[in-house]
Chains A and B, each alone.
Chain A
Amino acid sequence: MHALTKIEEIIQGVLSGDRRNIAKAITTIENNTAETQKLISSIYPHTGKAHIIGITGPGGSGKSTLIEKIIRKYRQRGKTVGVIAVDPTSPFTGGAFLGDRIRMQELSTDQGVFIRSMATRNYRGGIAKATKDAVKVLDAAGKDIVIVETVGAGQSEVEIIKVAKTIVVIFAPGLGDEIQAIKAGMMEIADIFVVNKADRENANKAIMDIQAMLQLNNKEKTWKKPVLKTTALTGEGVPQLIERIEEHKHFLERQLEHKRSREKAEAELIEAIKEKVATSMIEKLKREGKFEEFLKKILKKEMDPTSAAEKLLNEKFRNKV
């Protein structure tokens, strides 16, 4: 029996739920080392059991406080929970301030909860892929629930949240045009809407506003998107929210899960192929000097980039044949 390599140790650790190795595994994914692919392929067969919940909402919505309550409720029911909290990397400095776990800190010592903060960085393959892979780690490690938290403002956040099976969007009344602040794409893919800080005066108005929007947009006629009220500070409304999440989970299992899973897997495969093809093609063209040749033409304005790409690829494929 040979001694385990570092990555094998990590893989084994993940599959047995060891926290140190879960952390190292996620770091491996973040750093996209030579071992990352081995890690993912090893754990992939063990994924698919966790229910993945995406939770997003504008700053000030009380999202983090609500997530803390949600985790507690799941823990009361004996479920284990993993959390990935995503925050933006500064485009200027490359650094990031990861402060989401502050509201969940009391749960950090609960051995049934694993919280990890991730920055969007400048991932090859995008943050969405890195998040997806980190979720796979928590899934394979045996977590019953995996929560992905983002601030729902940008396009990439829409992509991140698509990793989830149930998507919850949280608002708070009186923050301004919060409904407008959420990307249009997010409104459509969301499965459950929550108005937090429901003890505020304009809570009911916020609920009506969202319901009005849903009337116009509700395409998926089979799952009626609920609009719920919560007060995260006291925990009011949280059991009902969990119920709805569970309902949605069962709905998926019964109806569309197969279709969604297929759609998701297809999207992932296409992305992976695109990534691999583009990477290897560009590397080749650079090695052969063709890349530089055509780049010079573009700079001299002899050719636009799209035509250059077409020419390069036509040449490549003609040679193959």
Chain B
Amino acid sequence: MQNERKIRVLIAKPGLDSHDRGAKIIARALRDAGMEVIYTGLRQTPEQIVETALQEDVDVIGLSILSGAHRTLFPRITELLKQKDLTDVLVVAGGIIPEEDVPEMKELGIKEIFGPGTPTDKIVQFVLENIPKRT
């Protein structure tokens, strides 16, 4: 008889940005919604993020960045996810990402970008509705 499947989420802060208020709130909200949240702290390289996603076999990766370095870091992350055959993982992002950059980020494979002021519940709902189907 099967155990209940739990949604596993990696919340990651790529690069040198140290503003983690939002990331921690999302981590807590997702945990309160019944998910298992792996938070790896600050200063994560794209390689560390992808490797962690692989080892932890996560369903979702949430990237939080406010420094403006997303234009360099996000493409590297999505490229590595392709290389490691992790393209079925749901990738979302939040922080300070200008409107004009959003289409480019979505092209890379980031399903949704949650800017400042997004209600937490909206993010939780989005994750619940968009997790990859796995047996």
Tell me, yes or no, whether A and B come into direct contact in the complex with CB atoms closer than 8 A.
yes
Q: Which residues of A contact B (CB under 8 A)?
A: 6, 19-20, 22-24, 26-27, 30-34, 89-90, 93-99, 101-102, 105-106, 108-109, 114-117, 119, 121-124, 279
Nearest-neighbour CB distance to chain B for A35, whole angstroms, equals 9
> How far, in angstroms, from A32 to B1 measured CA to CA in the complex?
7
> How far, in angstroms, from A27 to B134 measured CA to CA in the complex?
11
Q: How many A-B residue pairs have CB under 8 A?
A: 99
Give B1-43 as 1s and 0s: 1 = Cβ < 8 Å from A's Cβ atoms: 1111110000000000000000000011011111111111100
Provided the pairs A23-B56, A34-B2, A124-B3 are in contact, do residues A105 and B31 lie with their beta carbons within 8 angstroms? no
Q: Are A20 and B38 touching (Cβ within 8 A)?
A: no
> How far, in angstroms, from A33 to B5 measured CA to CA in the complex?
10
Q: Are A30 and B3 touching (Cβ within 8 A)?
A: yes
> How far, in angstroms, from A13 to B89 measured CA to CA in the complex?
20
Nearest-neighbour CB distance to chain A for B86, whole angstroms, equals 8
Q: Are B37 and A108 touching (Cβ within 8 A)?
A: no
Majority DSSP secondary structure for residues of A touching B:
mixed
Q: Which residues of B contact A (CB under 8 A)?
A: 1-6, 27-28, 30-41, 44-45, 47-48, 51-52, 54-57, 84-85, 135
Q: Are B57 and A102 touching (Cβ within 8 A)?
A: no
16 A-B pairs (CB sep. < 8 Å) = A19-B55, A20-B84, A20-B85, A24-B57, A30-B3, A32-B3, A93-B31, A94-B6, A95-B32, A98-B37, A101-B38, A101-B52, A108-B55, A115-B52, A121-B6, A123-B3
Instruction: Return the 4 tightest CB-CB contacts between A and B, nearest first.
Output: A95-B31, A23-B57, A102-B41, A94-B34
Q: Kindly list chain B residues whose C-beta atoms are within 8 Å of the C-beta of A117.
A: 36, 38, 56
Nearest-neighbour CB distance to chain A for B108, whole angstroms, equals 21
Q: Are B2 and A108 touching (Cβ within 8 A)?
A: no
Q: Are B41 and A97 touching (Cβ within 8 A)?
A: no
Nearest-neighbour CB distance to chain A for B6, whole angstroms, equals 7
Provided the pairs A20-B84, A108-B51 are in contact, do residues A31 and B38 lie with their beta carbons within 8 angstroms? no
In the complex formed, the residue of A with least CB distance to B41 is A102
Q: Are A124 and B47 touching (Cβ within 8 A)?
A: no
In the complex formed, the residue of B with least CB distance to A22 is B55
Q: Kindly list chain B residues whose C-beta atoms are within 8 Å of the C-beta of A94.
A: 4, 6, 34
Q: Are B3 and A93 touching (Cβ within 8 A)?
A: no
Nearest-neighbour CB distance to chain B for A8, whole angstroms, equals 14
Q: Kindly list chain A residues whose C-beta atoms are within 8 Å of the C-beta of B51.
A: 108-109
> How far, in angstroms, from A94 to B6 measured CA to CA in the complex?
9
Q: Kindly list chain A residues whose C-beta atoms are within 8 Å of the C-beta of B3.
A: 30-32, 121-124
Q: Are A96 and B56 touching (Cβ within 8 A)?
A: no
Q: Kindly list chain A residues whose C-beta atoms are within 8 Å of the C-beta of B30.
A: 95
> How far, in angstroms, from A26 to B57 measured CA to CA in the complex?
9
Q: Kindly list chain A residues whose C-beta atoms are within 8 Å of the C-beta of B44.
A: 105
B5 partner, pick from A31, A105, A109, beta carbons under 8 A: A31
Nearest-neighbour CB distance to chain A for B37, whole angstroms, equals 5
> How far, in angstroms, from A116 to B4 measured CA to CA in the complex?
19
Q: Kindly list chain A residues whose C-beta atoms are within 8 Å of the C-beta of B6.
A: 30, 94-95, 119, 121
Nearest-neighbour CB distance to chain A for B16, whole angstroms, equals 15
Q: Kindly list chain B residues whose C-beta atoms are within 8 Å of the C-beta of A89.
A: 36
